[in-house]
């Protein structure tokens, strides 16, 4: 019989842990470095990229409007609302990508240099 080799990447070894805190290195990826509440984080994100929540709200409004029109049997209105929803979804994606690009261009590291 051949012995199966264990995959060394499936478990975190003691050598991979942060020696100061004893925590695994991936924990720092999810840490809230700013120590801000959920409301504060939403406000900051809204200030950084205000178009995303606006287009999300417009997408939701178009969806609800389309469903109401469909329930009332107004096919033309329902179709128009669904087309608007698709358009607003596209604008939301453009706003997300554009906001990420602008943020990456103008973000500075701790030393004050552009990344």
CA distance 56 to 46: 12
pLDDT tens series, the chain, 115 aa: 566 555 555 555 555 455 555 555 555 555 556 688 888 888 888 888 889 999 999 999 999 999 999 999 999 999 999 999 999 999 999 999 998 888 888 876 555 555 5
CA distance 89 to 61: 12
Tokens 């478990």 found at: 11
pLDDT for 50: 87
Tokens 């107004």 found at: 74
SS3 74: coil
**Tokens standing for residue 71:** 């329930």
pLDDT for 94: 96
Residue 22, sorted as left (phi over 0), alpha (psi -120 to 50) or beta, turns out to be: left
pLDDT for 55: 95
* Residue 56, C-beta contacts closer than 8 angstroms, at least 6 positions apart: 92
pLDDT for 112: 54
pTM value > 0.85: no
CA distance 92 to 11: 39
pLDDT for 23: 55
SS3 77: helix
């Amino acid at each position: 019989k051949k012995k199966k080799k264990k995959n060394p990447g499936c478990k975190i070894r003691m050598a991979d842990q942060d020696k100061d805190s004893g925590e695994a290195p991936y924990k720092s990826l999810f840490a809230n470095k700013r120590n801000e509440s959920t409301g504060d984080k939403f406000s900051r994100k809204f200030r950084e990229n205000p178009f995303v929540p606006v287009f999300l709200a417009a997408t939701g409004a178009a969806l609800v409007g389309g469903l109401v029109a469909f329930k009332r049997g107004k096919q033309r209105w329902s179709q128009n609302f669904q087309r608007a929803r698709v358009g607003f979804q596209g604008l939301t994606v453009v706003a997300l990508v554009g906001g990420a690009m602008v943020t990456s261009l103008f973000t500075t590291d701790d030393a004050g240099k552009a990344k």
